[in-house]
Amino acid sequence: MGRVFYTLDVFTATPYAGNPLAVVTDTEGLDTERMQAIAREFNLSETVFVLPAENPAHTAKVRIFTPQAELPFAGHPTVGTAVLLATQKYAAGERPDDAIVVLEEGVGPVRVGVRFETDAPTFAEFDVIKLPEPDGPAAPADRLAAALGLAPNEIGFENHKSVRFSAGVPFTFVPVRDLDAIGRAAVMSQHWGEAFSGDGHGAAFVYCRDTVHRNAAFHARMFAPEMIAGEDPATGAAAAAFPAVIRQFDTPPDGVHTAHLEQGYEMNRPSDIYLEFEVAAGNLRAIRVGGQAVQVMKGEIEA
């Protein structure tokens, strides 16, 4: 039986950049085992399966799989799926300037605002429903450095130190000295488990203040060899927790703030992730993560 699927490149305005995503919209009769097998076949960082919403007021229920496991939440699947479903909804009629999509995910219903552009790819921004929380201590700098193939003195910049936060998926946030150091970072398998694998995900979000483009606030890379092969070109779930890093080390004043993360450049898949977050009484009160998405492919998979 052929099942319809789409691929989109997410957190980019350009096809063949950003983070590729597969979305299977014809899911009737698929069980968890079959969904996992399909995700392995696509072998992208995530594959989404769209099911009918349990709450009729919501747009859809979605299940998100890496090639190895199901996730309760992920950022680029949320953005890409919202863009696809909103575009399909208004394909045959008059399209509004914006729309709201609500996706039922493992962390709960995620509200996504979709903005249609006349001369640019569609932009989507989701509310982070689980504000980031500390997730235990990070490993010592020497262990992190060994796992990333760097020297211990290349870990950290200014007052930024390695920390762990989760907004649904845990990450170790590792600041490194500059673009040269982050460009040389790589997975050292023999040291990875000791530095990153205490949570079963082993995800490292490595970042620096140096950037390729002046309008970006941080340059980042993400490695999670237990979940995906290689590295991830754009990581919305890490971006959802990153305002906690900014709040801890940069101490922004109360009010609404924005930040632009650039990622994927070392993979030749440049990505742009936009953050908006609100600080009140010194604490995070709201976070939104956004980016553009472009459809690349439509096809059928035998499943």
Is residue 120 domain-shared with residue 232, that is, in the same domain? no
Quote the pLDDT of residue 65: 95
Residue 130 in tokens: 């689980």
pLDDT at 198: 62
| 207 shares a domain with 95 | no
Active site amino acids: 46
Same domain (yes/no): 151, 106: no
Q: What is the pLDDT of residue 120?
A: 78
Provide the domain count of the chain: 2
**CA gap 14, 17 in Å, rounded:** 6
255 and 202 housed in the same domain: yes
How much is the pTM? 0.92
Looking at the DSSP bridge assignments, the partners of residue 48 are 23, 64
SS (H, E, C) the chain: CEEEEEEEEECCCCCCCCEEEEEECCCCCCCHHHHHHHHHHHCCCCEEEEECCCCCCCCEEEEEECCCCEECCCHHHHHHHHHHHHHHHCCCCCCCCEEEEEEEECCEEEEEEEECCCCCCEEEEEECCCCCEECCCCCCHHHHHHHHCCCHHHECECCECCEEEECCCEEEEEEECCHHHHHHCCCCHHHHHHHHHHHCCCCEEEEECCCCCCCCCEEEEEECCCCCCCEECCCHHHHHHHHHHHHHHHCCCCEEEEEEEEECHHHCCCEEEEEEEEEECCEEEEEEEEEEEEEEEEEEEEC
| Cβ contact 175:155 at 8 Å | yes
Q: Please name which of 170, 54, 48, 35 lies closest in space to residue 104, comparing C-alpha atoms.
A: 54
For residue 165, which of 174, 156, 178 has the smallest C-alpha distance? 174
- Are 45 and 110 part of one and the same domain? yes
Q: Any idea which residue has 């994927």 for tokens?
A: 264
Q: Do 100 and 152 fall into the same domain?
A: no
Helix 75-89 × helix 236-250 angle, to 10°: 120
Structure token digits, residue 20: 């590729």
What CA–CA distance (Å, rounded) separates 111 from 102? 5
Q: Is the dihedral of CA 255, 122, 128, 224 positive or negative?
A: negative
Residues 151, 107 within the same domain: no
Residue by residue, pLDDT tens for the chain (303 residues) are 689 999 999 999 999 999 999 999 999 999 999 999 999 999 998 999 999 999 999 999 999 998 888 998 889 999 999 999 999 998 776 788 899 999 999 989 999 999 998 777 899 999 999 999 999 999 999 999 999 999 999 999 999 999 999 998 899 999 999 999 999 999 999 999 999 976 556 899 999 999 999 999 999 999 998 877 778 999 999 999 999 999 999 999 999 999 999 999 999 999 999 999 999 999 999 999 999 999 999 999 987
Contact of 54 with 104, CB cutoff 8 Å:
yes
Q: Are residues 270 and 176 in the same domain?
A: yes
d(CA 164, CA 134): 6
What are the tens digits of pLDDT across the range 203-230? 999 999 999 999 999 999 999 988 777 7
The predicted structure's pLDDT at residue 141: 97
Q: Give the pLDDT of residue 162.
A: 98
Q: Round to whole Å and give the CA distance between 36 and 237.
A: 20
Clarify whether residues 61 and 147 are in a common domain: no
Q: How many residues does this entry show for the chain?
A: 303
Q: pLDDT tens for residues 233-286?
A: 999 999 999 999 999 999 999 999 999 999 999 999 999 999 999 999 999 999
Residues 284 and 298 grouped into a single domain: no
The predicted structure's pLDDT at residue 2: 85
- 16 and 106 share one domain: yes
CATH of the domain at 211: 3.10.310.10
Q: Rounded CA gap, 242 and 245, in Å? A: 5
Domain that holds residue 69: 2-126+292-302
Based on the fold, state whether residues 151 and 54 are members of the same structural domain: no
